[in-house]
């Protein structure tokens, strides 16, 4: 099953990030932009951190989910999706706000607290094997039961909704030279690319991806979507295969993708936690990791970095605390 063709039944014609912003203004948090002189000094750039870990449900995913749910036709009986966690929690919260149920197909190796978050927001979890095929098959089963699929990224409304991160950034930071965002399925990055195009500004949009899940970089290099994909990264939110629509937008806007090592992701988390005092999940640290790994590319520039989420198993981490 390809989720790429399902959305024509799900609502009116595609919207752009600017229109999504109008609708979402009162529903999403206009997240703050954080700055830190020590991180500027470390990288040589002037960095603006977009704090999407402070978004409702703890990630940018709430934007796209809210927009997609808001645009559903009347009378749908419920929604369904597959997700490593953040889109699932976001969809559950957005659906509940409209009085709808949400079913979420999750890989059985999903972060435990992300499973709990889906349930906390009223979502019903269905586990599947941790492969793209199993996720899509699980979603197809739910759709066969009459639920409306809201795929996590390969969907125009999702892309437009996530693009509001870019709309806000352009409004919040003067004279931006570049925006760096992580890429898993590509909803956030494609949405930001569309928001920048819509604004008419000359801001470079750059993707950041774990080397252990480099399907987007390989797809851009090959000029077509690769299908061999065995992700191996701590960045659990970036393990999905880039979507068809998303890749087409990245191709059209010529968005480059930088890859980063697992060690660089960990170092980036440490730097962000230590300096900003913010809890950022591994996926949320990948864009900063790319900037830190390429100082020559960002030195002297005004660079926005999307901290995409802050959901991880804090209780497990704190077992590492020294005792009294």
- Asked whether position 224 contacts its own copies by CB under 8 A, the answer is no
Residue in 73, 224, 232, 254 binding its own copies, rule: CB under 8 A: 232
Tell me the C-alpha to C-alpha distance, in Å, between residue 139 and each of 26, 132, 186: 30, 11, 19
Residue 10 or 292 having the CB closest to its own copies: 292
d(CA 243, CA 110): 20
The residue within the footprint of its own copies, chosen from 13, 222, 263, 324 (CB under 8 A), is 324
Among 75, 99, 300, 320, binds its own copies (CB under 8 A): 320
Which range, of 11-19, 51-59, 149-157, 189-197, touches its own copies by CB under 8 A?
Answer: 51-59
Nearest to 286 by CA among 312, 323, 260: 260
Beta-bridge partner residues of 182 = 208
**Binding status of residue 270 toward its own copies by CB under 8 A:** yes
Helix or strand holding residue 248 (H, E) = helix 244-252
- Name the DSSP letter for residue 200: T
Residue 316 binding its own copies, by CB under 8 A: yes
Choose the stretch contacting its own copies; rule: CB under 8 A; options: 22-30, 74-82, 243-251, 277-285.
277-285
261 catalytic? Reply is no
d(CA 38, CA 8) in angstroms, rounded, equals 48
277 labelled catalytic? no
- Beta-strand ranges (E) seen in 52-123 are 79-82, 102-107
**Does residue 277 interact with its own copies by CB under 8 A?**
yes
Report the distance separating Cα 95 and Cα 7, nearest Å.
16
Of the candidates 44, 70, 97, 113, which one interacts with its own copies according to CB under 8 A?
113
In the bound complex, what is the minimum distance in angstroms from residue 273's beta carbon to its own copies? Answer: 4
Stretch that binds its own copies, among 94-102, 166-174, 184-192, 311-319 (CB under 8 A): 311-319
Interaction of residue 317 with its own copies, rule CB under 8 A: yes
Q: Are 116 and 92 in contact (CB under 8 A)?
A: no
Fill in the per-residue mask, 5 to 44: x = in contact with its own copies (CB under 8 A), - = not in contact.
Answer: ----------------------------------------
240 to 187, 212, 229, 268: CA distances (angstroms): 11, 12, 9, 21
Nearest Cα to Cα of residue 204 among 309, 297, 308, 293: 297
Among residues 50, 61, 114, 283, the one annotated as catalytic is 61
24: nearest Cα among 154, 172, 163: 163
Task: State how far the Cα of 11 lies from the Cα of 113, in Å rounded to an integer.
Answer: 32
Q: Rounded distance, CA 241 to CA 257, Å?
A: 14
Compare residues 54 and 226 and give the one whose CB is closer to its own copies.
54
Please identify which residue in 46, 233, 283, 308 interacts with its own copies, judged by CB under 8 A. Answer: 233
Q: Which of residues 198-217 bind its own copies (CB under 8 A)?
A: 212
* Per CB under 8 A, 315 contacts its own copies: yes
DSSP code of residue 131:
S
Distance of alpha carbon 158 from its chain centroid, rounded? 10
Q: Which stretch binds its own copies (CB under 8 A): 52-60, 66-74, 186-194, 219-227?
A: 52-60
Residues that bind its own copies (CB under 8 A): 53-54, 58, 113, 212, 232-234, 262, 266, 269-270, 273-274, 277-280, 282, 310, 312, 314-324
Which amino acids are annotated catalytic?
A: 61, 308
């Amino acid at each position: 099953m390809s989720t790429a063709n399902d959305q024509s039944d799900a609502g009116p014609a595609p919207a752009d990030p600017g229109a999504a912003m109008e609708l979402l203004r009162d529903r999403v948090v206009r997240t703050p932009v954080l700055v830190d002189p020590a991180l500027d000094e470390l990288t040589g750039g002037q960095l603006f951190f977009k704090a999407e870990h402070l978004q409702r449900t703890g990630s940018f995913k709430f934007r796209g989910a809210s927009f997609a749910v808001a645009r559903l036709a009347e009378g749908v009986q419920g929604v369904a999706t597959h997700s490593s966690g953040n889109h699932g929690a976001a969809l559950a919260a957005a659906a509940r706000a409209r009085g709808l149920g949400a079913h979420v197909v999750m890989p059985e190796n999903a972060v435990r607290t992300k499973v709990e978050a889906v349930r906390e927001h009223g979502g019903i979890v269905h586990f599947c094997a941790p492969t793209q095929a199993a996720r899509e098959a699980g979603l197809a089963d739910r759709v066969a039961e009459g639920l409306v699929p809201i795929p996590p990224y390969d969907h125009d409304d999702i892309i437009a909704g996530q693009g509001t991160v870019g709309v806000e950034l352009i409004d919040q930071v003067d004279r931006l030279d570049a925006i760096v965002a992580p890429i898993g399925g590509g909803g956030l990055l494609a949405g930001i690319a569309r928001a920048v195009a819509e604004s008419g500004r000359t801001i470079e949009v750059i993707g950041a991806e774990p080397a252990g899940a480099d399907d987007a970089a390989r797809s851009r290099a090959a000029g077509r979507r690769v299908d061999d994909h065995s992700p191996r990264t701590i960045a659990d939110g970036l393990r999905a295969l880039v979507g068809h629509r998303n890749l087409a937008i990245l191709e059209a806007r010529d968005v480059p993708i930088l890859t980063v090592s697992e060690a660089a992701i960990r170092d980036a988390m440490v730097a962000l936690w230590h300096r900003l005092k913010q809890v950022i999940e591994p996926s949320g640290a990948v864009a900063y990791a790319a900037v830190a790994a390429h100082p020559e590319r960002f030195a002297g520039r005004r660079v926005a970095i999307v901290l995409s989420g802050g959901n991880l198993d804090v209780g497990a981490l704190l077992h590492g605390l020294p005792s009294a």
